[in-house]
Structure 1
Amino acid sequence: MPTSSQEKQPPKSTKELLALAQDGAKKVFSTDEYREYLKFISGFHQYSVRNQLLIYLQNPHATFVAGYHTWKNQYHRQVNQHEKGIRILAGGEHKYEKRVRQPDGTIKRVKETKVFCRPAAVFDYSQTSGEPIKMFTHELTGEVPNYATIYSKLVQATDFHVGFSREMPSSETKGVTRPRQKEIQLRSGMSEKQTIKTLIHELAHSELHCDPKLKLDRSTMELEAESTAFIVCQHLGIDTSDYTFPYLAVWSKDKDLSQLSKSLTRIQSTAEKFNKTVDQNLEKIREKPLTLDQKIERAKTIATTENIAKKEQGLVQATQEKTR
């Protein structure tokens, strides 16, 4: 088994980190550790393959990692005293101007960008103390009967544009609603259950929380959106308990009865609206096996999601190549 970060000094230089990743890869892929490693990296999809391996080799029991300032500023947690960081390779850019001689003999200043790697330290959740964080919900897995129809009708229930993206504000974000742009972005690559749950959550935000006159704190908005998603998913026969209840446990703390009562009224009316929207189209097909057309429609929906993700990844790679 790899050695914990608590048992020996972590590598410090870029050269040491690259060597550790190379040697560790040989060990992991040639032993029974591979199965454990696959389980491990499922929780670190936001990191590169090399950094996933570096985290695993230094602390195979890590569950969620972030930098010192991210823990402090974004999650309101403090790294415990005397903790040793897990060393990874962070990307960086150096922008500069280059003097290039033109065919006519003149000198032109050209902006260049050099991409490089540098060592950086991250810390596991177990190495920190402070407020609980919501990413320790279990992401939903599995298919949804009539997925394509449900997804399509839910999207039609809003005037917001709904799309997919691999780029999210943070690693645990499943979806985001942007009122000014009137758009909803869902993380691509999620299961059908997680996609539908997240879509309803973001639709609830678009329905309930886009009025600038409303003075609601974030915890109230998250409570209302996730509760709405839970009710609608239950109505559709989708159990989201493993995800929703830990999520709500964080956002409902310190709420008094009067606050919760106001929220429940808003939650109920919004959930009822979405339920009616979907019910009108599912009444005839509920409890029936998928027809060939429905299977084709589901395949198209999934393919569209994957194609969008591939195109976005291609654009990112093309942009990076241009800056080199």
Structure 2
Amino acid sequence: MATTEAARAARDAKLDELHERLTQAVERLVSGDDWRRALEFAARFRSRSFGNTLLIFAQHLDAYEAGRVPDPEPSYVAGYKQWQSLGRQVSKGQPGYMIFAPVTGRFASSTPQDAQSWRRLGRFEKPKPGEVVRSRMVGTKPTYVWDLSQTTGDPIPQRPTPRVLEGKAPAGLWEGLATLVAAEGYRVLRVESEGAIGGANGVTDFSARTVAVRSNMDEAAQVKTLAHELAHVKLHGPDNPDAFGHRGIGEVEAESVALMIGAAHGMDTSAYSVSYVSGWAQTVTDKDAAQVVQATGERVRKAASAILDAIDTEQIDGGDPPGLTRQTPPALPTRTPPAPPHLQRTSPEVDAVVRSL
């Protein structure tokens, strides 16, 4: 019992350390350019949560400044055994980067449509005849990953990185985005000039279910605008219960999704105009600004990743080493009750991270 309590205390101390480090990383996003760089980095590591991406970035930078790694940014990251499965070994003396990993539990119900009917199964407990079993995340634990430069062994194949000429759009990107807009039940319109849409580059009309983009811009600007408007469709529709409901945050989210999609295709995003989300976060009275920033980054990452996964274009890698097969995340019951109190962390900051993993 004492050993279990000591292990739990050590784990909680590590989680507290991670939360403090994550809060510091979020608070360092003090300008639009910092936000842009964070999202460009997240575009290259989009298989990870936004919070874990920031943790990897900050710890790798510390390792670079200490002379343990040769480059200021990671290339590929993976766990200890994952690197071993690829024929590589973590070098002696290289500490890993601590990040959050989900803790899952199994829940069973004979009436899955009833949210109150789900019960947590014990470690070796089998469901009763006729019960449906699903897994869900009930908490977090610390785990470690290492950058490619911290390992030795078999070479990792390098995939080609897309490069786009200035002003040109990546091959197939407009068509892919337009198909996703249509799948949401909206028509894509190309208008002659900004005068037709109130001086804007693009406009989403939720009532008419149209997305208009002005055609008197270069191809890159047009496809970036279409990505921006698709983000509005997916994140900010009138029936979306998860939208912040704040115009400023909505615009930052849409432009940030467009930035990540562009970065994933090798587009130069330095000219993107992304107002710093924290300025708007300060105006959300019922949430801490750091929580809003983190939640915004995670919503952007998830939306951009879903779009990128749905289109057939040449894209940069998502942060996993080529050849690595990630386990499919456990399915989440759509309406299961919260985890039992003894399995929950009471800190709202912890809860926010649990939801964003």
Judge same fold: TM > 0.5, yes or no.
Answer: no
Bigger Rg, structure 1 or 2 = 1
Task: Judging by fraction of residues, say which structure has more helix.
Answer: 1
Query: TM-score, normalized by length of structure 2?
Result: 0.36
TM-score with structure 1 setting the length: 0.39
Query: Quick one: higher RCO (CA 8 Å, sep 6+), 1 or 2?
Result: 2
